[in-house]
Structure 1
Amino acid sequence: MVEQNEAARTYARIVELALDPVRGEFDVDHLREVHRRIFQDLPHHGPGEFRPDAPGHFKQRALEASSARIVVPYALRSETDQHLGPTLAALQGGKALSGLDTLEMSEAMAQTYARLDYLHPFREGNSRTLRSFTEQLARENGHELDWGTTNVSAKSRDDLYVARDVAVMNLRYPDLTEEKVLSLETPEEYRAGVLMLQQLHTYRHHDPLQEIIRKSLERGRDQEPYDRRMTVLDAAREIGAVAPIAANQAARNAEEARLAVLRQKAPAATEQQAIERREWIAREGNMAALSERLGQIESGYITIRHDPGAPALDRLAALADGIGRELAQQRSAPSPSIIPMRPNGRDDIER
């Protein structure tokens, strides 16, 4: 009952923030004021105050859609004090994100969110504070970041939890390998390293934070599918962004379909379809194959059916279809007329 009451109070304050945001420079004071306004009715959560120092700062998160738990390693307070200011200063009062398109904004926002989440400055309410903070940051740069798209089901919430937590783990243990774990000096560090390596392996095929933010940005901007004419350069950039994520989605879908068939929760055709799509990625839908076909486009443009918020796998398929249609039109176009030349090099048109 207490948690429901507190959630209702903070929700009301978050709505107020959306209508009347903090007038600030997206610096430390700005972030603290966002937290203070959200938790102003709950003094025991230290509105606007940083968490106290502690020997370690871990959170054990229980996922909603499964019985799985994730241990998340956040920064020590000394790291927070050292890096929070420079991390926010890099935003240049928000101007550092000016003029970014959706792909660029999703990458920049994912990096900013992950770093701030890892630094975890407040004892309670970091997620709510960062959502309000990043929504305002995106909005003031011409984008609508709709975090509501991640809150439609237990699975969508878990997807966001996993993406955020994996990003934090990668910041705490960058490029973690078995060799690096073996080189950790203390038993505590070794046990933590082993656990992080296991967790990163378990969630290796899950969508990264930039994919979830891209879909949220698109759903906040557009709702209905439409035909999108794009340059070959933009198509190449989008293929580079979505192809690795699409490959992971195809692998995850195939494994989930296999388990569903084994548990008799889906027909065998479901697994076969997932396998075929995974094989299509490996054969034709990978970055190298699509880039090679894209290089054959003579017009410099392709048209795709753009479905805002579609997963990377569907976006990649739309790009492949767009390339295929453009190449088909290119092959069927009549050859330009050739005007016969006179022996002296002049054509037959009267001057």
Structure 2
Amino acid sequence: MVDQREAALTFARIRQLHRDPVQGQYDVAHLREVHRRIFQDLPHHGPGDFRPEASGHFKHRLLESTRDRTVVPYALRSETDRQLGPTLDALQGGRALAGFDLLEMSEAIAQTYARLDYLHPFREGNSRTLRSFTEQLARDNGHRLDWNTTNVTPEDRDALYIARDMAVIQLRYPGLTPDSMMTVDDRHEYEMAFQLHSYRLHDPLHELVRRSLERGRDAAPYERRMSVAETVREIAAVAPVALTQAERAAEASRLAVLRHKAPVADHETASDLRDWVAREGNMAALTDRLELVAGGHISIRHEPGAPALDRLRAVADGIGRELAQQRAVAPVMRPTGRDDIER
């Protein structure tokens, strides 16, 4: 854990960086300078210096909200030296993200963050450095990334740790899945697959980034008019995450009932919602209904930073309202009889 003195010093330096950011090209020198500025008052952290070579580099983490322990494997220093430059060069000085909308920016920031976190170039302070680095990257491309939204409660902080760590594991072990526990022989791979399985229902990194970008951009809820094409992209982005959120809520309510901490009705409600997402809130079902929208647009109640499950329900409600309005204004056709024809 970061002690209070260190937290105060680095917080002040991060605020300075926000007001006076590094004038760089989002390359290795830029990243090192961000680290140097944040930790310039803490020489024992090697401000701007890369970590030394070691036979392995692991982080043992104690989650605040559950007291669960996780282990995440980072790249060896040799891999960091080989891959850090090309990873940052892909940003093209930040220009590679120019013109990205919010969904595209969410994916780009999440991928960049995960890759840099895996390479883990510094011995201490990688997370604080990467938050400042990606916040500046988003801002220079017209977005406001509010990482403070992931630091409100212990659960929020753990959600970000889990999302990052699971992304790192999958970079360290490409192709490893939550189901790999039953097939791998290597002990380390088994442990990593076990963690992927344990946290399979938790939000992925791009979902947390999307919510942080929205909260940085939008101050209050509003009615959002979306084209059919925008709605299809929205459904594709949120539907898979919404299903895991619904499954997680149903499982949490089931356990709460077993522990006599919630009524059975809560579990029934959560189970019904999970079943609705699986049956009617999936990509195929919603796009089929969307094809019936004649006007080319729907309206949704946009809640900045809402979870994917709430976003999906808002889209489904918007489609439903649009179809109901179509039916209400459709002309009532009177059956044509023989008398009509003769007249």
The reply to whether TM is greater than 0.5 is yes
Give the partner amino acid of 2:122. F
Q: Which moved more, 1:198-207 or 1:254-263?
A: 254-263
Q: Which moved more, 1:120-129 or 1:175-184?
A: 175-184
Distance change >3 Å, CA 182–CA 228, structure 1 → 2: closer
TM-aligned CA deviation for residue 218 of structure 1: 0.4
Give the partner amino acid of 1:115. R
TM-aligned CA deviation for residue 14 of structure 1: 0.6
1:314-349 deviation digits (Å, cap 9, x = unpaired): 000000000011111112223499xxxxxxxxxxxx
Alignment of 1:88-99 (within 5 A): 88-99=88-99
TM-aligned CA deviation for residue 176 of structure 1: 1.1
1:50-105 deviation digits (Å, cap 9, x = unpaired): 00001111111100001211100100001100110011011111111111111110
Q: Do the aligned partners of 2:181 and 2:194 also contact (CA within 8 Å) in 1?
A: no
Give the partner amino acid of 2:232. A
Residue in 1 that maps onto 2:293:
297
Alignment of 1:130-169 (within 5 A): 130-169=130-169
Distance in 2 (CA, whole Å) between partners of 1:32 and 1:161 is 22
Distance change >3 Å, CA 280–CA 78, structure 1 → 2: same
Residue in 1 that maps onto 2:69:
69
Name stretches of at least 5 consecutive residues in structure 1 with no aligned partner: 185-189, 338-351
SS in 2 for 1:330: helix
Distance change >3 Å, CA 283–CA 2, structure 1 → 2: closer
SS in 1 for 2:3: helix
Name stretches of at least 5 consecutive residues in structure 2 with no aligned partner: 334-343
Distance in 2 (CA, whole Å) between partners of 1:302 and 1:45 is 52
2:329 to 329, 333, 337: 333
Alignment of 1:240-319 (within 5 A): 240-319=236-315
Matched, 1:200 2:196: yes
1:245-282 deviation digits (Å, cap 9, x = unpaired): 00000000000011111112222221111011001111
Q: Do the aligned partners of 1:22 and 1:34 also contact (CA within 8 Å) in 2?
A: yes
Matched, 1:216 2:212: yes
Distance in 2 (CA, whole Å) between partners of 1:121 and 1:296 is 51
Alignment of 1:112-191 (within 5 A): 112-176=112-176, 190-191=186-187
1:105-141 deviation digits (Å, cap 9, x = unpaired): 0011000000000000000000000000000000111
TM-aligned CA deviation for residue 3 of structure 1: 2.0
Give the partner amino acid of 2:210. R
Residue in 2 that maps onto 1:236:
232
Give the partner amino acid of 2:188. A
1:161-200 deviation digits (Å, cap 9, x = unpaired): 000000000111122156698566xxxxx11100001000
Q: Do the aligned partners of 2:180 and 2:190 also contact (CA within 8 Å) in 1?
A: no
Distance in 2 (CA, whole Å) between partners of 1:173 and 1:2 is 29
Q: Do the aligned partners of 2:180 and 2:193 also contact (CA within 8 Å) in 1?
A: no
Distance in 2 (CA, whole Å) between partners of 1:35 and 1:181 is 41
Cα RMSD over matched residues?
Answer: 1.7
Give the partner amino acid of 1:129. T
1:139-163 deviation digits (Å, cap 9, x = unpaired): 1111110000000000000000000
Residue in 2 that maps onto 1:342:
none
Residue in 1 that maps onto 2:316:
320
Q: Do the aligned partners of 2:238 and 2:308 also contact (CA within 8 Å) in 1?
A: yes
Distance in 1 (CA, whole Å) between partners of 2:281 and 2:181 is 34
Alignment of 1:76-95 (within 5 A): 76-95=76-95
SS in 2 for 1:129: helix
Q: Do the aligned partners of 1:181 and 1:193 also contact (CA within 8 Å) in 2?
A: no
TM-aligned CA deviation for residue 2 of structure 1: 8.4
Q: Do the aligned partners of 2:225 and 2:298 also contact (CA within 8 Å) in 1?
A: yes
Task: Give the length in aligned residue pairs.
Answer: 332
1:293-324 deviation digits (Å, cap 9, x = unpaired): 11111111000011110000000000000001
Q: Among all aligned residue pairs of Structure 1 and Structure 2, give the percentage whose two residues are the same amino acid.
A: 67
Q: Do the aligned partners of 2:184 and 2:190 also contact (CA within 8 Å) in 1?
A: no
Distance change >3 Å, CA 320–CA 87, structure 1 → 2: same
